[in-house]
Structure 1
Amino acid sequence: MDKLQAMQVFTRVVDCNSFSGAADALHMTRSSVTTIIQNLEAYLKVRLLNRTTRRISLTPDGAAYYERCARILAAVEDSETSLSTAALPRGKLKVDMPGSISRLIVVPSLDDFHARYPDIDLMLGVSDKPVDLVQEGVDCAIRMGNLPDSTLVARRIGTSEFVTAASPDYLSRFGEPKSLPQLDAHVAVNYFSRRNGRIMEMNFIVDGEPIEVRMRSKLAANDGDAYLQCGLQGLGLIQVPHFFAARHLQTGCLVEVLGQWRRAPLPVWAVYPHNRHLSPQVRAFVEWVSERFEGCHLLRKNASEAMDHVRHDSVRPLVTDLVHS
């Protein structure tokens, strides 16, 4: 029995909470994974996993063995990495990110990534909502906003500023608001969360404090592209990440309003599971994508400075799913 492979298979079954998921992640058949776990338990003379038709769970012996396996596998990978620091990272890398970030920031620069790391086979997942990294076998993901999942290791790679905007047609009919009280005479296109259905009201930072403004509205959307199109069609004021609307702002199809009271910027993170060693492929991708975000004019270079002047305990985790479109 290959003990190292058995440890790798066992830890992946636990991480995925599934024999099938582990088989997919390791590019093995389910029967091979099952056989390896059975042989491992026979060799150790203990049951590592409780199995039912619907779920699996660790036994006390399995939990203790899992922790030891995780440390051993991390040490092995550290040793291999230390002996090959001069070599370029190689192998498969599965990443996940929101559609707008993929479409507008990452994909246009992938030729640079492949030129720098020609031996990495990138599997780019584009999802409308955050995926379970462990269950889906994702090595790394890009997420925006406050992170609800404390089990993930997160590295901040950028900051995204928001703009409040309207089409020239809308402004010709309603006029341009010059102050927040003037919003009473305007209408908004609302955005509602696809996760909980909650309407996300307009929000502005005034003297370092977030101010929520409830506006008149007869239209709401839960898709970022549809929300943007509503603004372009003159159906109301919208509030979107700057990179999402940058092209339309440059061409004049959208006009920014109330620029002195922008919504609080949101951090952008690269995240990966805490119990998964940071592989050379993940490290390379995180470093590369950090560079792309740092140099990306679409995010506005003053966003990080603006965020430093906002009371972080008062910033609510709004509109984070607007970019997942």
Structure 2
Amino acid sequence: MNNYKILGRAGEGAYGFVFKGVDLRTANLAALKKINVNQVGCPKSVIREILALRFLRHKNIVKLLDFISLKTCMVLVMEYLPTTLYDILSKNDLVLSLGQVKAYTRMLLKGVNYMHQNHIMHRDLKPANLLLSKNGILKIGDFGLARIYDHEKRRLYSHQVATRWYRSPELLYGSRTYNLSVDMWSVGCIIAEMVEGKPLFPGETDIEQLAMVLGTLGTPNNKTWPGLTQLPDYNKISFTYAKPQPWTSVLPEADSGTIDLISKILIYDQNKRLTAKEALNDRYFKQYPLPCKLSQMPKIDEIETNESPCDFSEFDIYETSNEDSL
């Protein structure tokens, strides 16, 4: 830790704070994610994140620079990225052009495709976990829920993953045998949110979330969703019959190309959703307007971030023994 100087607090996660720091050896900025470690030991999610980020090296995935184990905490040192897609979408006076939406979508899909080619599910894709560099490059972050996926081995996964608004319907019905397409459902929701400027399915409970999805895509059956009736929570609740809504009314701000892409991702049958590779080859990216260049993307300097000065006692390694001090 002697190599880093803390400049302020940049955010807060499930297991601790994220601090903005500087590497004294290179003068480069870094994000230091501090995770408190209790008597039980390091949380599994932290170990998974370290392993995933050590393995994944791609320009659209956040880079892990170092990790440091101390007596009371662990510190993950990552490249510093000043803002997120969530911050962009939360800026009321900023409306993304279609070319900008396509650029962000393409960068997201490239990162997802690389993850999936390397058999890793992210399981928590959302705007707040899509970080943006100063020059506008989108990078996927927060791999705390990531898991290895092997299509040749049938294994059970937890269905309590993904932030509710971006959670696929099979997860909402309690499936534990899902596949990589849960990430693609999240991608479809994110694309729609970029176009409309608001979340597509903002449910306040899991039941309301599922009702919103069914109310949009229509009541599923075994033809549109093979294996539906075998899902663990299928018989626990029933919904009023609903007809599928036309995507033109669901996404009034979207052009025909965007609607065509989203409609091939947001479908019930997980085995028929577009893969990230298929989506990258979709005509959506070949139609006018083309994806913007980085120089045409929103200016990061104009986006408000969550950085704030910190009370250094929050970073409690300052107060430990000399062995653990900065």
**TM-score under structure 2 length normalisation:** 0.19
- Larger RCO (CA within 8 A; separation ≥ 6): 1
Greater per-residue helix proportion: 1
Greater per-residue strand proportion: 1
